[in-house]
Amino acid sequence: MKVLVLGVVVAVSAGFAQAQEIGGSYRVEGTNFDGSAYGGEAEISLTSDFTCEITWKTGGSTSTGICMRDGNAFTAGYELDGTVGLVIYMVQPDGSLDGRWTVAGVNAVGTEVLIPK
């Protein structure tokens, strides 16, 4: 029983540590569906041991979403101009987040990299 409890504590602690490591300010570099480039800033704030809020300021617009990290995967769902979107990032060894995104009803993906400031 002690081994099981210890395993659960370690797993919960690891998830919390990963969430803490992802919070902060980032520079945004991305491409739209048509391949054109965009840039801006993003801020990730912890909201619980496992979830966070992310706010992007790019191209004159601001969008906010809920996010979560699981190992090297970092995902966020968001709303932009009334449309639901999804982005999936892979956490890189240097702390950057390398991702692909889309929005509901569009048959295309964009790319985005978040670079820690």
What are the contacts of 5-9 at 24+ separation with CB within 8 A?
A: none
| pLDDT given for residue 37 in this prediction | 97
pLDDT tens-digit map of 23-37: 999 999 999 999 999
pLDDT tens-digit map of 78-103: 998 899 999 999 999 999 999 999 99
pLDDT greater at residue 59 or residue 114: 114
Read off the tokens for 24.
């902060």
Domains of the chain and CATH, by start: 2-116 (2.40.128.120)
Q: Which residues contact 42 (CB under 8 A, 6 or more apart)?
A: 25, 26, 28, 54, 55, 56, 57, 114
